[in-house]
Amino acid sequence: MARLLGNWPLKLGALLLSILLYAGLVYSGSFTEQQATGVPIRAINQPLNTYLLTGELGTVDVGYRAAAAAAGGVTTSTFSATVDLEAYDMTQAGEPQRVPVDVRSLDDEVVVLAWAPVEVSVILDRLAVRTVRVVVDRGEVPPGLEIGVATVLPSSVQAQGPESRLRLVTRAVARVRIDPSGIDVSELVDLVPVDADGDPVGAVELSPGAATVEIEVSTAETSKTVPVTPNLVGTPPVGLTLTSVTVQPAAVSLFGPPGVLTAITSVETAPIDLTAVTADVVLEAGLVLPDQTRLEEGAAATVAVSVSVDLELASRTILAGPVCQNVESGLVCQPQVNQIPVTVSGTRAAVAALTPSQVTPVLNMAGLGEGTHQVTPSVSLPAGISLVQALGPLTVVLTAGGP
């Protein structure tokens, strides 16, 4: 003790002198005080079989003093900011705890003065392992498809992670997508640990991390009722015309894949030849079913097609000269037109055989005296021939001078 206190006046003087000299250097500009922002914090001394749930620990801002000449080379890597996880109380694992931050300078010429924050919240948890079952999530099945029971290998896997997270895991999910084309599923699928709500649970690893999923996919049938359309070929013989065609039953129910049925609007019959139809007839015709479709079990594959024909009608316009009848003695009948058009109709053969003499407009002049008159002609036509429209009045002049 005597040695330590010996010459204490001299030692005290030396200390005061060094403080004065240092202060002089600072105030003379030989040193500078600045701040480094964003120094990353890292964890050290993490206990075995534990998991740091906090993830990134953030950064600190460091106030420091350095010689003016060296200040320009100071960066965030000049400092080491750490939290010692040995200070974490594992009796409260899984709970957030405040742990001090320690900052040191890695450069002897740089002195750390202060930093912020001085502590951070840390969550440390024990690692655990347990077995969870594997389930298949097939997603939304496209319409028109039926799927069998999914098989998955392995049916269970090991889940490892922090106890607090591991407790949330209810299953490992293999998510697959059913192709609308109906292809069977047989593939290796990544597994995802999920909770009771189906949400992924982080920080948990599965071993193995994938499973083989197989699902048999088949096409489902639906039904659609569509009309039957007769497939008519040719025309009736000359002189006949088609008047009506009916089908019984008029509609049928088709069964098949929805995608196929959507495009079908009707079902045709086998060809029906009209060239041999000379009278009303009922014909049996088979149905031509589109590919991938069928009729209901027990339904007849044929329909009854009723075809009606009639004599073919035609019309014809003939120019005919009007003829006066019943003219009073001593008078001369003079129509003001030499010919008028007369349009008639009937069977094609009968109309074609008509001669102008058979289509003669007659002017009945009975009871009419000398002068100008308006007379409506009449036409007597052969059986089966009819006048298309009535004839209008003609101007006729009766003059004296007859026999």
| Residue 253, SS3 per DSSP | strand
What pLDDT does 24 receive? 47
Q: Given the structure tokens 């320690």, which residue do they identify?
A: 102
What letter does residue 359 receive in the DSSP assignment? S
Return the pLDDT at 310: 87
Are residue 384 and residue 348 in the same domain, yes or no? yes
Task: Compute CA 331 distance to the chain's CA centroid, rounded to the nearest angstrom.
Answer: 91
| Shared domain check, 65 and 161 | no
16 and 114, same domain (yes or no)? yes
Q: Same domain, yes or no, for 383 and 350?
A: yes
- Which SS3 state, helix, strand or coil, does residue 53 take? coil
Given a contact cutoff of 8 angstroms between Cβ atoms, the answer to whether 272 and 305 are in contact is: yes
Last residue of a domain, one of 311, 344, 368: 311
pLDDT, position 27: 47
Q: How much is the pLDDT for 259?
A: 78
Instruction: State both tokens at 363.
Output: 């002017």
Q: What is the pTM of this model?
A: 0.50
Structure tokens at 30: 């030989």
Residue-level pLDDT at 69:
78
Whether residue 10 is found in the same domain as residue 118: yes
Low-confidence ranges of the chain (pLDDT < 50): 1-5, 14-28
Tally the domains of the chain: 4
What burial letters (b/e) apply to 148-181, b meaning 16+ CB within 10 Å? eebebeeeebebbbbebbbebbbbbbbebebeee
Which pLDDT value is given to residue 2? Answer: 46
Q: Which pLDDT value is given to residue 403?
A: 57
In the listed set 194, 219, 244, which residue is the last one of a domain according to the structure? 219
102 to 61, 81, 115: CA distances (angstroms): 12, 6, 9
Question: Domain check: are 111 and 31 in the same one?
Answer: yes
Non-local (6+) Cβ contacts of 9 within 8 A are none
Residues 245 and 173 in one domain: no
Instruction: Tell whether 137 and 230 lie within a shared domain.
Output: no
CATH number at residue 234: 2.170.120.40
| Number of helices and strands in the chain (H, E) | 5, 32
SS3 235: coil
pLDDT score for 29: 55
Euclidean distance between CA atoms 390 and 378, whole angstroms: 9
Domain region containing 360: 314-400
343 lies in the same domain as 382: yes
Domain boundary residue, one of 250, 283, 311: 311
Same domain as 145, residue 213: yes
Question: Residue 335 and residue 373: Cα distance in Å, rounded?
Answer: 9
Tokens of 182: 């109906």
* Same domain, residue pair 6 and 117: yes
- Residue whose C-alpha is closest to residue 161's, from 66, 83, 59, 52: 52
Residues 305 and 348 in one domain: no
Do the bridges between strand 267-273 and strand 222-233 make them parallel or antiparallel, or are there none, so unpaired? parallel
Picking from 146, 165, 160, 214, the residue whose alpha carbon sits closest to that of residue 186 is: 214
Q: Helix, strand, coil % (nearest 5) of the chain?
A: 15, 50, 35
CATH number assigned to the domain comprising residue 334: 2.170.120.30
